[in-house]
Amino acid sequence: MSVQQETHGFQTEVAQLLKLVTHSLYSNKEIFLRELVSNAADAADKLRYKALSNADLYQGDGELRVRLSVDKDAGTLTISDNGIGMTKDDVINHLGTIAKSGTAEFFSHLSGDAAKDSQLIGQFGVGFYSAFIVADKVTVNTRAAGEAQAVQWESNGEGQFTTAEIEKAGRGTDIILHLNEDEQEYLDDYRLKAIVSKYSDHISIPVEMWQEGEAEREQEGETIPATEGKWESVNKATALWTQSKSDISDEQYQEFYKHVSHDWEDALSWSHNKVEGKQEYTSLLYIPAKAPFDMWNRDNKHGLKLYVQRVFIMDEAEQFLPQYLRFVKGLIDSNDLPLNVSRELLQDNKVTQSLRTALTKRVLGMLDKLAKDEDKYNTFWSQFGNALKEGPAEDMANKEKIAKLLRFASTHNDSSAETVGLTQYIERMKEGQDKIYYIVADSYNAAKNSPHLELLKKKGIETLLLSERIDEWLVSHLTEFDGKQLVSVTKGDLGLDDLSDEEKAEQDKQAEENKPLLERFQTTLGAKVKEVKISQRLTDSPACIVAGEHDMSSQMVKMMEAMGQEAPEQTPVFELNLEHPLVQKLADEQDEARFDQWANLLLSQATLAERGSLKDPSEFVAQLNTLLLDLSK
Ligand SMILES: Nc1ncnc2c1ncn2[C@@H]1O[C@H](COP(=O)(O)OP(=O)(O)OP(=O)(O)O)[C@@H](O)[C@H]1O
């Protein structure tokens, strides 16, 4: 009956995905049904939303539902909905391409190892294409609401699909799975019912199956009249978030999470709240256990599902949470927003603003609670910590709360794992210590081994070791926690002034005695350094460079340069360790030319240790070679 059949090629990534689906997803095949029922429920939501402004779209059929039916002879299972349906363009776009940004990059990370890839693919979300886990051919008959023409899409999942115009009586979509020889179990009513109640009980529209009628029969002398066959709902069909918490099991919360998030893994935690009073809303928020593959893409889609008075309005409403909490999934159902609210309207809306404030508080509270379970919190932090680090810059009002949730590597632990919180750091502070010390470097090892930490280590003072790209940005916005200043050990004075009068007098004496040496360094290094000082922070290294109190740190300079911005020229303070034999040797050096060579070499060395690179590396190599030659004479 179909006319004008057209053949189309799948987008490369879809073809790759389909291959993976058929080869990797063998361990939990039944989830294909969850995905297809989830899509059908979304299609019902979309129709209801569109019908808000055009009730004619229902065409007398407003009872939205999904139906499962089997044809044992043909070996087919059909999932049929009367939702929004698809036009021919929709079909080609949605069932032939993947619209997510960064998809190609994602595929480039797959290893070819089926078990590993199936993990990744779960994170990606296979959706409709999961039909091919159990079917060797899939036929989709669909008619968009308000359209007369229906379309058929068909494919065996191998590179191509066809489309054709067809006749279809009602609006909506029928997905016909021609089951593989080995998957005939999905023709069994009991099996299907069990899967639906396991995964799709919370779907807000009924999932129906045909209940055969029974012929008139005699039982214990009585005549039981014949019954007619009818469609019967096999799920609860009440929107999960409208039920009371005590009626919802953890499993149901987890299944609902998978429906709203398209994640295949369980969530880490959730919070379900009904709020009444000035504002009326229900929120159901989830913290995922794994970051989605496109978490760090700039145009990554995120946000909550928005419902108004239980009617679905939009996906990915990002206005309800700040950017740094973009990993949160879930929904908000408001009684205060108008049903015709649009993305634009949400933007400057008072209701949105106060919901955003409330939900942000809620999520920070959830995280605070999660932090009490160290294992879970570590999982969370490893996935989303870097997003949370954007918080202090973005959300001034909650700075302190966010800071409490941050975790860092530190000299207290011999590990690069970020597990130390600021509260914990403060608890461990030394008597008389009133600052929180940190260092930002290119890598954990560079931070850990930095000469700047020498004195602090000697004094047994803990230092936070920061080495993520975002860290410099973070500390430029987080300068205080719990009344204690955060201080970079590479900048200005360390403020370790708990020196006794004796020690102070000793220091002053040392400075006075070594004035000529410091001046000699200053003269020979000239404009390359701002000042030459005796270091109070070194024990093992001969020298280091330090940024002035109000200068940009070298990490900040690097960050600006990486972003293609011109960073102001920074002249460092040069600190010398008078205890070091090299410096002591230099103090006795009579040959001015040699002193100059050594002094410059020490400066280059210190710069290299601090910045990881030199403006003029060949000059450094030349200095070193001259000295080596000199020494070998
Ligand atoms: N039953 C349906 N009725 C109407 N449209 C559908 C139906 N099933 C799928 N679609 C359309 O096809 C698109 C792709 O579906 P698919 O399941 O692959 O992805 P998704 O649901 O958007 O997200 P995910 O891949 O994360 O599950 C959907 O976004 C929707 O537009």
Domain-located, residue 394: no
Q: At what angle do helices 501-513 and 515-525 cross, to 10 degrees?
A: 50
Domain-located, residue 392: no
The model scores a pTM over 0.90: no
Same domain, 457 and 341: no
Q: How far is CA 195 from CA 32, 185, 402, in A?
A: 10, 12, 41
Domain-located, residue 218: no
C-beta separation of 293 from 106 below 8 A: yes
CA nearest ligand 1 atom 14, residue: 94
Q: CATH number, domain at 325?
A: 3.30.230.80
Domain-located, residue 395: no
- Closest ligand 1 atom to the C-alpha of 40? 1
Same domain, 420 and 543: yes
Domain-located, residue 188: yes
Q: What is the pLDDT of residue 486?
A: 95
Q: What is the pLDDT of residue 492?
A: 66
Q: What is the pLDDT of residue 500?
A: 57
Of 337, 352, 384, at which residue does a domain stop? 384
Q: CATH number, domain at 187?
A: 3.30.565.10
Which of 32, 33, 42 for mutating ligand 1's site (highest number of atoms within 8 Å of CB)? Answer: 42
Same domain, 463 and 525: yes
| CA R_g for the chain | 33
Q: What is the pLDDT of residue 351?
A: 93
Of 211, 231, 250, at which residue does a domain stop? 211
DSSP conformational letter for 424: H
Domain-located, residue 277: yes
CA nearest ligand 1 atom 19, residue: 127
Q: How far is CA 336 from CA 139, 244, 280, 304, 454, in A?
A: 42, 21, 7, 17, 59
Q: Residues lining ligand 1, CB < 6 A?
A: 39-40, 43, 81, 83-86, 94-95, 125, 127-129, 173, 262
Same domain, 353 and 487: no
Domain extent, residue 24, equals: 5-211
- The Cβ of residue 28 has, within 10 Å, a number of other Cβ atoms equal to 12
Domain-located, residue 397: no
- Closest ligand 1 atom to the C-alpha of 84? 4
Domain-located, residue 219: no
CA atoms of 105 and 550, how far apart (whole Å): 41
H/E stretch holding 39 reads helix 31-51
Q: How far is the CA of 127 from the centre of ligand 1 (A)?
A: 6
For residue 458, give the 3-state DSSP assignment: helix
- Closest ligand 1 atom to the C-alpha of 38? 21
Same domain, 314 and 352: yes
Same domain, 449 and 574: yes
CA atoms of 623 and 597, how far apart (whole Å): 7
Same domain, 428 and 531: yes
Q: How far is the CA of 36 from the centre of ligand 1 (A)?
A: 8
CA atoms of 361 and 445, how far apart (whole Å): 36
Which of 25, 36, 94, 173 for mutating ligand 1's site (highest number of atoms within 8 Å of CB)? Answer: 94
Same domain, 124 and 29: yes
Of 211, 232, 263, at which residue does a domain stop? 211
Q: What is the pLDDT of residue 183?
A: 95
Same domain, 435 and 574: yes
Query: Which of the residues in the chain have pLDDT under 50?
Result: 2
CA nearest ligand 1 atom 13, residue: 94
User: Which residues fall in the annotated binding site?
Assistant: 35, 39, 81, 86, 100-102, 123-128, 173, 343
Same domain, 356 and 311: yes
User: How many structural domains comprise the chain?
Assistant: 3
Q: How far is the CA of 437 from the centre of ligand 1 (A)?
A: 50
Same domain, 418 and 543: yes
Same domain, 163 and 198: yes
Q: CATH number, domain at 443?
A: 3.40.50.11260
Which of 89, 128, 257, 293 for mutating ligand 1's site (highest number of atoms within 8 Å of CB)? Answer: 128
